[in-house]
A and B are shown apart, each in its own frame.
Chain A
């Protein structure tokens, strides 16, 4: 047909509007970030990876046009569906703001007051989460990567490269085939050959012996032919090991979140702590198939609680950090045997503990916790002024100083002071660079 033709575009690249989306996200950056931060407070650690529906005030991305104000002047509109009205009937106007009909119409063509809702992908969500934390790009990438893969054995195939040949399988197949095809074995032939040599050594063979020699030679020739016909190894026998990419390390990890919940830990401190735990959780998710989280909160005594209670309920009392460590060990012995679980501990505190307790903490760490832990991260949450005062690494609250003394002995121990989200990452730096080394 001259006039028309079809084009199949289904295979064309999708995501043509990706550039537009990026521009939009950039445009509404501040509002989106606010919405993400709000949702960080509301979501649990394990939900961090999901994308999310967020809503931002529509004003921030309004596209204004000149409009006539419906509250002014005169107009005459035509509508369908008259049932009982006659000319001259008066109808009371619906109250302002409420009401359907005209009010609704005004908001469909202008930007209404409502929030603008859309869905962030997991990637975008994490990007914004990471933004505050000032993670190095390499780390961001490795956190977002779904899984690193390794090649794992996946049975046997009939084709492959010679280096992957499975000798045992190949030989077994060959053996079976040789038996089935009655391939004369070398031993059988050797027996005959020796017999033949013995006969040949006889200087004056009798007729009988000559006959038997001929017989043997004929037999040997037949065997030789059969052996050529049924070779020792036939291409049919060859088997190769098959490999396929599979996620690495499918072991389990447990993450202990320890936090001081005494009165001195406020909303801001807990919020920072939450990001600290989230980051560790994200990291563990990449490396382990299964990650359990245990929340231990403490004042002067410690208890295991659920996430909700951990972050949101308050408790009064003194501060004895070592109780949390004891509790953690108790839970660990009870449910997370060290040889089955990779143990990670994240501790957040404002640095205060009963005097003399710091020493005990160090003891517990040194003797019981550090030997079984993969990594122990400690953050001390300060406010920004304090951070300046304590710019020197050696000065600080009792717990800090105590940890400083024993830290060098353990390279899986890290501590840092934070006042802002971007201070969090350094405490994990070791962890991530280790990860990098392993990956390399």
Chain B
């Protein structure tokens, strides 16, 4: 009798799903996410798609809207082959930092997987997107989809007007500078700055109204005096050195025509939008994984899902957080899901059942019991680098058997500089945090001088850190790309910082 009652509480019992079951499950998940974890989320828009559509979405940064470019076609071709030949599976989900928060579920997933994915994406990632300071400050969840829509149409129009090759040349060159196309320290202007969009729309409308076939043969691509003056005023305001090379080129290039500047700007805005994601891989995935793990376990404890579902969940979950050792052929760096999840579980443990060591390392949280608030504070105010520096505990370093290796290109040997012991904890933690500092592993290249008159030479400088030079193979190709955008000689110096 009791078994029968228990069974009737299950929200689903087998692998098949339909929209009723999805809805019921979503409600159960939401109950835990909002009342128990007290997450703060954007409204969810959950879209069911086929595997083919997943491949489509995959290849263009996972965005539902994207302008057309051959590089996306290339990624698609590769992903498609890998998938069809069975070399790799598809991601279970894609989630977009937008308001409403769009998550894709694949129709092939079993119901247990759909539950996992909803908890992971629509609550875990969603909360992180909405609350993390980097996303709040540097991206515009409200504006991204309308902006991409604008970008897609604008670029398509340019292709019609000026030809594929012309557009491709600018996009190729801009893509090569994407990593150097973001503001790292000062806040970028809003994406959808309303007046600019309004201005563009007004111009388009004006062109339509005053459309006259005779004028079509005249070049209508020059900027008028007023715009030029405005742009040059902006250029004068830029204080060199400028780290955002794309921004500098967009504003100051002597040769770009207005539509070309707009293309550079689109690429720059896309790069900026994805910039926070690069800095929060561990935290973002850790947050989503922690949330799905908590919710699924809680659903099981409450009797809402059965043994079969929880076992299937644990199987997927453990492969997601699997961390191969450095000498394993499958090893390709630390798995952000594994590290993030382990650290967040550990914070919960420290809050609830601290050991002496934890009290010493984390006096302010150890034994406080309120892990929900501590985690939410971490999700809100840290990025990977600072999070690791703050919260990586000796226990995690021991569990992962972390060790640091110093590698000097001039030497024939590398040296183990620290391991997971009392002497090494701080150093390992510091080095690991540094690995997540984009400034450390991406070259620091800035515009240091630009002759706006005369020979119009553009001078870039790579500040060499720890003797690490630029890779020569790509350097020359990219310089050619920059010259396309700048129109005159471009020099790149490497100087020791």
Residues of A within 8 A of B (CB): 1-10, 12, 14-17, 19-28, 53, 61-83, 85-93, 100-102, 104-105, 108, 110, 116-119
Q: How far is the CA of A100 from the CA of B326 in the complex (A)?
A: 10
Residues of B within 8 A of A86 (CB): 416, 419
Q: Let me know if B153 is at the binding interface, CB within 8 A.
A: no
Residues of B within 8 A of A101 (CB): 326, 331
A69 touches B47 (CB 8 A): no
Partner of B47 from A6, A24, A66 at Cβ < 8 Å = A6
B329 touches A65 (CB 8 A): no
A78 touches B468 (CB 8 A): no
Report B336 CB to chain A, min CB distance, Å.
12
Known: A67-B470, A69-B469. A14 touches B400 (CB 8 A): no
| A-facing residues in B1-45 (Cβ within 8 Å) | 19, 22-23, 26-27, 30, 41, 43-45
New A-B pairs, 19, CB < 8 Å, besides A74-B407, A77-B407, A82-B401: A3-B41, A10-B53, A14-B50, A14-B53, A20-B76, A23-B73, A53-B81, A61-B70, A65-B176, A67-B470, A71-B409, A74-B466, A74-B467, A75-B466, A82-B402, A88-B415, A91-B405, A91-B414, A118-B80
Residues of A within 8 A of B324 (CB): 81
Report B162 CB to chain A, min CB distance, Å.
15
Residues of A within 8 A of B197 (CB): none
B97-110 vs A, Cβ < 8 Å mask (1 yes, 0 no):
00000000001000
A85 touches B403 (CB 8 A): yes
Partner of A9 from B49, B122, B413 at Cβ < 8 Å = B49
A3 touches B56 (CB 8 A): no
A92 touches B413 (CB 8 A): yes
B417 touches A76 (CB 8 A): yes
Interface segment out of the listed B293-301, B352-360, B373-381, B428-436: B428-436
Q: How far is the CA of A70 from the CA of B471 in the complex (A)?
A: 8
Residues of A within 8 A of B419 (CB): 82, 85-87
Known: A23-B168, A24-B77, A74-B468. A79 touches B53 (CB 8 A): no
B49 touches A90 (CB 8 A): no
Residues of A within 8 A of B217 (CB): none
| A-facing residues in B47-84 (Cβ within 8 Å) | 47-50, 52-53, 55-56, 59-60, 68-74, 76-78, 80-81, 84
B400 touches A80 (CB 8 A): yes
Residues of A within 8 A of B416 (CB): 85-91
A90 touches B415 (CB 8 A): yes
Known: A79-B326, A87-B424, A118-B81. A20 touches B69 (CB 8 A): yes
Residues of B within 8 A of A1 (CB): 23, 26-27, 30
Q: How far is the CA of A12 from the CA of B50 in the complex (A)?
A: 10
B77 touches A23 (CB 8 A): no
A-B contact pairs, 14 of them (CB 8 A): A6-B48, A20-B73, A23-B164, A24-B70, A64-B478, A66-B445, A78-B431, A79-B402, A81-B326, A81-B400, A85-B403, A91-B413, A93-B412, A118-B74
Report B371 CB to chain A, min CB distance, Å.
24
Q: How far is the CA of A27 from the CA of B481 in the complex (A)?
A: 16
Q: How far is the CA of A63 from the CA of B204 in the complex (A)?
A: 33
Q: Let me know if B332 is at the binding interface, CB within 8 A.
A: yes
Q: How far is the CA of A8 from the CA of B20 in the complex (A)?
A: 13
B297-338 vs A, Cβ < 8 Å mask (1 yes, 0 no):
000000000000000000000000001111111011110000
| A-facing residues in B374-423 (Cβ within 8 Å) | 400-409, 411-421, 423
A7 touches B48 (CB 8 A): yes
Partner of A76 from B325, B326, B404 at Cβ < 8 Å = B404
With most chain B CB atoms within 10 A of its CB, the pick from A7, A80, A83 is A80
Known: A61-B74, A80-B401. A7 touches B47 (CB 8 A): yes
Q: Let me know if B46 is at the binding interface, CB within 8 A.
A: yes
Known: A21-B76, A68-B441. A76 touches B405 (CB 8 A): yes
A10 touches B48 (CB 8 A): yes
Partner of B44 from A5, A21, A79, A85 at Cβ < 8 Å = A5
Report B99 CB to chain A, min CB distance, Å.
12
Q: How far is the CA of A77 from the CA of B408 in the complex (A)?
A: 11
Q: Let me know if B437 is at the binding interface, CB within 8 A.
A: no
Known: A76-B404, A85-B416. A68 touches B443 (CB 8 A): yes
With most chain B CB atoms within 10 A of its CB, the pick from A14, A63, A77, A108 is A77
Return the chain B residue nearest A18 by Cβ. Answer: B73
Return the chain A residue nearest B398 by Cβ. Answer: A82
Q: How far is the CA of A110 from the CA of B60 in the complex (A)?
A: 18
Report B31 CB to chain A, min CB distance, Å.
10
Residues of A within 8 A of B59 (CB): 17, 20
Which A-B residue pairs are the 6 nearest by beta carbons?
Answer: A81-B325, A24-B73, A73-B467, A73-B468, A20-B73, A118-B77
Residues of A within 8 A of B53 (CB): 9-10, 12, 14, 16
Report B417 CB to chain A, min CB distance, Å.
6
Partner of A8 from B19, B23, B72, B176 at Cβ < 8 Å = B19
Q: Let me know if B182 is at the binding interface, CB within 8 A.
A: no
Partner of B176 from A6, A63, A104 at Cβ < 8 Å = A63
Report A107 CB to chain B, min CB distance, Å.
10
Known: A5-B44, A24-B70. A78 touches B428 (CB 8 A): yes
Return the chain A residue nearest B443 by Cβ. Answer: A66
Count residues of B near A (Cβ-Cβ below 8 Å): 102
Q: How far is the CA of A145 from the CA of B315 in the complex (A)?
A: 47
Report A383 CB to chain B, min CB distance, Å.
35
B167-205 vs A, Cβ < 8 Å mask (1 yes, 0 no):
010000001101110000000000000000000000000
Return the chain B residue nearest A90 by Cβ. Answer: B413
Return the chain A residue nearest B107 by Cβ. Answer: A10
Return the chain A residue nearest B104 by Cβ. Answer: A9
Q: How far is the CA of A130 from the CA of B312 in the complex (A)?
A: 51
Q: Let me know if B477 is at the binding interface, CB within 8 A.
A: yes
Partner of B327 from A14, A25, A26, A81 at Cβ < 8 Å = A81
A4 touches B44 (CB 8 A): yes
Residues of B within 8 A of A23 (CB): 68-70, 73, 164, 168
Partner of B468 from A10, A68, A118 at Cβ < 8 Å = A68
Q: How far is the CA of A27 from the CA of B171 in the complex (A)?
A: 13
Residues of B within 8 A of A92 (CB): 412-413
Q: Let me know if B472 is at the binding interface, CB within 8 A.
A: yes
Q: How far is the CA of A72 from the CA of B17 in the complex (A)?
A: 54
Return the chain B residue nearest A69 by Cβ. Answer: B471
Residues of A within 8 A of B23 (CB): 1, 6
Known: A9-B48, A93-B413. A67 touches B403 (CB 8 A): no
Q: How far is the CA of A210 from the CA of B468 in the complex (A)?
A: 131
Residues of B within 8 A of A79 (CB): 326, 331, 334, 402-403, 405
B74 touches A24 (CB 8 A): yes
Partner of A6 from B46, B73, B84, B424 at Cβ < 8 Å = B46
Q: How far is the CA of A12 from the CA of B334 in the complex (A)?
A: 37
Partner of A17 from B41, B56, B407, B434 at Cβ < 8 Å = B56
Q: How far is the CA of A2 from the CA of B45 in the complex (A)?
A: 11
Residues of B within 8 A of A89 (CB): 415-416
Report B90 CB to chain A, min CB distance, Å.
14
Known: A14-B53, A80-B325, A86-B416. A66 touches B468 (CB 8 A): no
Report A155 CB to chain B, min CB distance, Å.
36
Residues of B within 8 A of A71 (CB): 409
Q: Let me know if B231 is at the binding interface, CB within 8 A.
A: no
Q: Let me know if B474 is at the binding interface, CB within 8 A.
A: yes
Return the chain B residue nearest A100 by Cβ. Answer: B329
Report A60 CB to chain B, min CB distance, Å.
10
Partner of A64 from B47, B401, B474 at Cβ < 8 Å = B474
Q: How far is the CA of A82 from the CA of B331 in the complex (A)?
A: 13
Known: A64-B474, A72-B469, A78-B431. A17 touches B413 (CB 8 A): no
Report A45 CB to chain B, min CB distance, Å.
26
With most chain B CB atoms within 10 A of its CB, the pick from A26, A75, A89 is A75
Partner of A90 from B19, B27, B55, B414 at Cβ < 8 Å = B414
Residues of A within 8 A of B434 (CB): 76
B71 touches A63 (CB 8 A): yes
